[in-house]
Structure 1
């Protein structure tokens, strides 16, 4: 029997398709698809969708201020999701594991914008949240990125 996508899975699938475009180098088309999805789900939409979409939309930005704005939206959605009661424990775990990356991205944004104090705050928050990361490729990659950014910030 073929499994049907739920509407929520369909949104995540569409986000994933746009991410593939982004990683394939088609930033403009990825941005266009992310913007269309954002218009559909809106600020009141599912917090996990908003967090995921804003997180990747930030990566598609050319302007550091726009990137920061989208990363702040992603963090706001994650914080809203963390505060909502949920009957999906896997969603809570996914969001907890997302925090190190969200704060890491914000730290990188603030470095680009020459705001080292704000970068330090988010880098410290990223490091403090790493206990939620698994000992897998993703977890190791985020931890290594935190270490690299720490060296960059220290050298700056």
Structure 2
């Protein structure tokens, strides 16, 4: 998923961004704590953009592959509930379809970690099917390269 920028007045996205900075700075435990506190506030019925973004980054903060998978599945489920008009209001350049290559890549990686290659390949296929929406830029190229790396890893098993 692309890094999210704060929409004016979106306090939840601001708080997610603050926890993301902790995560990217190496403070996984504090990031996890903040993500967990946010999740307890917004929960399964919160706004889809908030749930998708939060679950996507909470997955990255997990130490256990099973927990990571559970959060990535929540992110995918939330993405399925995203509306393009809400996403455009957050940032005009975002498209709901652009979330799926990254979300499926993450699920493929989770399943690979859990030694479930059939499920990993299923999500690799889904990520490939969604690649056409990504631009030929650093983000799109990073996703494509990560897919190639994971495919090589699965082929070596």
Q: Which has the higher contact order (CA 8 A, sep 6+)?
A: 2
- 1:13-49, Cα deviation, whole Å (9 max, x unpaired): 1111111101111000000000011111111111011
Residue 66 of structure 1: how far off its partner (Å): 0.3
Q: Which residue does 2:99 correspond to in 1? A: 98
Counterparts in 2 of 1:94 and 1:87: CA distance versus 1, 3 Å:
closer
Misfit runs of 4+, over 3 Å: 86-89, 91-94
Distance, in Å, in 1 between the alignment partners of 2:11 and 2:150 is 34
Tell whether 2:19 aligns with 1:18: yes
- Does the 8 A contact of 2:49 with 2:87 survive in 1? no
Larger Rg: 1
Paired residues, what number?
A: 148
Where does structure 2 lack aligned partners over 5 or more consecutive residues? 1-6
Distance, in Å, in 2 between the alignment partners of 1:106 and 1:89 is 22
Q: Which residue does 1:78 correspond to in 2? A: 79
TM-score, normalization by structure 1 = 0.89
Relative to its length, the structure with more helix (as a share) is: 1
Distance, in Å, in 2 between the alignment partners of 1:56 and 1:89 is 17
Q: Which residue does 1:5 correspond to in 2? A: 8
Residue 93 of structure 1: how far off its partner (Å): 4.2
Q: Look up the SS of the partner of 1:87 in the other structure.
A: helix
Residue 98 of structure 1: how far off its partner (Å): 1.1
Where does structure 1 lack aligned partners over 5 or more consecutive residues? none
TM-score, normalization by structure 2 = 0.88
Residue 89 of structure 1: how far off its partner (Å): 6.1
